Amino acid sequence: MPSFKDLGLCNNITEALKDLGYTKPTEIQELAIPQILGSDKDLKAFAQTGTGKTAAFSLPILEKIDLNSSATQAIILSPTRELAIQIAKNIKEFAKNIKGLNVVAVYGGANITNQIKDLKRGAHIVVGTPGRTVDLINRRSLKLGEIKWVILDEADEMLNMGFKEDIDQILDVTPDKKQTLLFSATFPREVEAIARNYMFKPAEISAGEKNQGADTVEHQFYLVSERNRYPTLKRIVDVNTGIYGIIFCRTRRETQEIADKLIQDGYGADSLHGELSQAQRDIVMKKFRTKKIQILVATDVAARGIDVTDLTHVINHKLPDQLESYTHRSGRTGRAGAEGISIVIVTNKDKNRIKQIERKINKKFVQKEVPSGKEIVGIKLMQYAEKIKAIKVNEEDLSDNFEEIAKDLKKLTKDELIKRFIYNELEHLLSYYQKTQDIGADTGRERVTDENMQRFFINTGKMDGLNPARMIGLVNDYLGKKVDIGQIEILKSFSFFEIPKEHTEDLLKGFEDAEFNGRSVNVEKTTQPKTRSRNRDRGRGRERNRGEKRRSGGGDRNRSSNSNRDRGNRSDRNRGGRDSGFKRRTEKSTRRRRRRSEE
Ligand code: AMP
């Protein structure tokens, strides 16, 4: 493996790298540095986050830049201000032994006047977000007429974020003769189009398969029902006692909600998203960097450019819409050769995306069981015991009161004392896991009892054309209002559903005269415990027999008449009928519903 010196870098630079702890080049550096040093050709580089690409493109530029000229010679475009700041900071560190080199970062959300002043003082290298760069070009504060290098960093992300026009505008004001370096983790059509339009016969390099991030990251997933997403997240955090990680969410709202819940539940967490001001972001990032908080809840965009190298975990609260973003997310951990874990919480609905990601990253996910309350409590107790053992006591601090306290506590045995200490520290956790049921994998059949929900049996099932959407419609219809519907289990000839307990009476009344596909519907409260659906089908002999009878006693005819009715209902819907597809309701229930909706 070559050294940085072997790649053609001068002592000034290699010494600075040594100080930064860069002992040997990463794969992308080994490929890109000699290529850029030795050739004026444009370059298309496939490189993921965390592979060391900042040094890969900036070191050869530092090597070749002309310090006798004060003109801006390199413009580096990056998708976010965090990343732009980070790149500028890295370059300054690489160039600490290069006297007179100026690097300026320009980005939105910060005072433009100061940035104009910085540019006036002379900037050999400018790192900018596309929007602010265009703004400064239009104000004639940033002149790109003598540009020798254009670097498009995380090009796919810039295009995802809608910077295409800005990039076009910037590239248009640069000279024809220049070297364009495009770094991207993925090459969708739009990135290829940029490469086609603005690059001439580019050289191509790829450090995709062997990047540090992917190699040292273990990918895990938890399959749970939708409403167990947050409780599962909590358990993952609880069980990983030394966690220092980012929880990724898809939207700002989701980010804020999850962070608020975690804070409320006593975790050291905070949120990072686009609605925060730059000052607020800086405060959050400072808390995270200094480990005052262990968990950062962030959107993909906000987390870009966060250069925290020792993250233990990345948790995908929900998977990103674009699978490419998963690579970016998981690349936040396992950096610079360290071990990392990337966790995904999925439901039955999105579990097939795990397979797609596996194909994309060429690695297998490990399915994990949600830790039981007992396990978590055990871990926390041991952790607390370790903490107590490690406490260093300064005798002097206690000298005044110790005897008195010791005398008072002597009435308790050693075991009683230990139990009370534990309780004092962990009461909240102990009682939480005492009350809460364990979370099983969401097989679509098993359920987790929620103490606030009431479970109901209904004598209709798949054979009657019932499906979850229709079940929701049916419940809302007969209840006359929209309520949270919990677990739904549709079996062959009967089904189960849950709604919040407070609506129990209304629901039973609402269903008094109900019919479904011409058959009277019977709804009963049930407390039936968690079982597999097949067993339950067997257990409910009455309903099963009814189903069997229907099928054997001219079942085909009945079934076809059922499906005719179904079709009839569907066309009702098309004519503006209610979308649950359920026939009729008695005058009584209609009156009741009207009354309710007017209340
Ligand atoms: P980047 O992909 O440029 O964001 O780099 C990812 C992380 O790896 C950063 O924290 C860099 O400081 C670090 N890094 C980059 N190159 C090396 C290297 N050759 N040796 C050790 N760490 C590196």
CATH number of the domain enclosing 24: 3.40.50.300
pLDDT of residue 531: 45
- Say if 440 falls within a structural domain: no
Are 457 and 341 within one domain? no
Q: By alpha-carbon position, which residue is closest to atom 6 of ligand 1? A: 50
Burial class of residue 423, CB neighbours in 10 A (0-12, 13-18, 19+): exposed
Radius of gyration of the chain (CA): 31
Greatest Cα pair distance in the chain: 97
Q: What is the pLDDT of residue 270?
A: 95
CB 53 within 8 A of CB 45: yes
Q: Which domain holds residue 546?
A: 453-598
The residue out of 164, 183, 207 marking a domain boundary is 207
| 494: in domain | yes
Residue whose structure tokens are 């998981």: 330
Asked whether residue 519 falls in the same domain as residue 467, the answer is yes
Q: Which residue puts its alpha carbon closest to atom 5 of ligand 1? A: 52
- Inter-residue contact 302 to 157 (CB < 8 Å): no
- Are residues 173 and 82 part of one domain? yes
Measured in angstroms, how far is the CA atom of residue 486 from the centroid of ligand 1? Answer: 46
| 470 and 579 housed in the same domain | yes
Q: Note whether 494 and 522 are same-domain residues.
A: yes
193 and 267 inside one domain:
no
Residue bearing the CA closest to ligand 1, atom 14? 52
Measured in Å, residue 375 CA sits from the centre of ligand 1 at 37
Residue of the nearest CA to atom 10 in ligand 1? 309
**Residue 245 in domain:** yes
Report the chain (599 residues): mean pLDDT per 10 consecutive residues. 93 95 92 96 88 94 96 96 92 96 94 96 96 96 97 89 92 95 86 90 76 68 91 93 92 92 91 85 91 93 76 94 83 76 92 88 89 87 86 82 86 88 81 75 54 85 86 88 84 88 91 82 76 41 34 32 33 32 39 34
Residue 104 lies in a domain: yes
Q: Is residue 508 part of a domain?
A: yes
User: From ligand 1's centre to the CA of 77, what distance in Å?
Assistant: 19
In a shared domain, residues 188 and 253: no
Q: Which among 75, 245, 217 is positioned nearest to 153, based on CA atoms? A: 75
Query: Which of 207, 239, 254 is the last residue before a domain boundary?
Result: 207
pTM, entire model: 0.49
What pLDDT was estimated at residue 208? 53
Asked if 469 and 535 sit in the same domain, the reply is: yes
- 144 alpha carbon – ligand 1 mean position (Å): 28
Q: Name residues contacting ligand 1 (CB within 6 A).
A: 22, 25-26, 29, 49-55, 307, 309, 335-336
Q: How many domains does the chain have?
A: 3
Token duo for residue 340 = 């990392």
The residue from 352, 367, 382 where one domain ends is: 367
C-beta contacts of 356-362 below 8 A and 24+ residues apart: 356/323, 357/219, 357/319, 357/323, 357/326, 358/219, 360/323, 360/324, 360/326, 360/327, 361/214, 361/219, 361/326, 361/327, 361/330, 362/209
Rounded to 10 deg, the angle between the 541-552 and 555-574 helix axes is: 100
Q: From ligand 1's centre to the CA of 386, what distance in Å?
A: 34
Q: Please tell me whether residues 182 and 282 are part of one structural domain.
A: no
Residue of the CA atom closest to atom 16 of ligand 1: 52
Residue 527 lies in a domain: yes
**CA 147 to ligand 1 centroid distance, Å:** 26
Within this chain, do residues 556 and 484 fall inside the same structural domain, yes or no?
Answer: yes
Residue 326 lies in a domain: yes
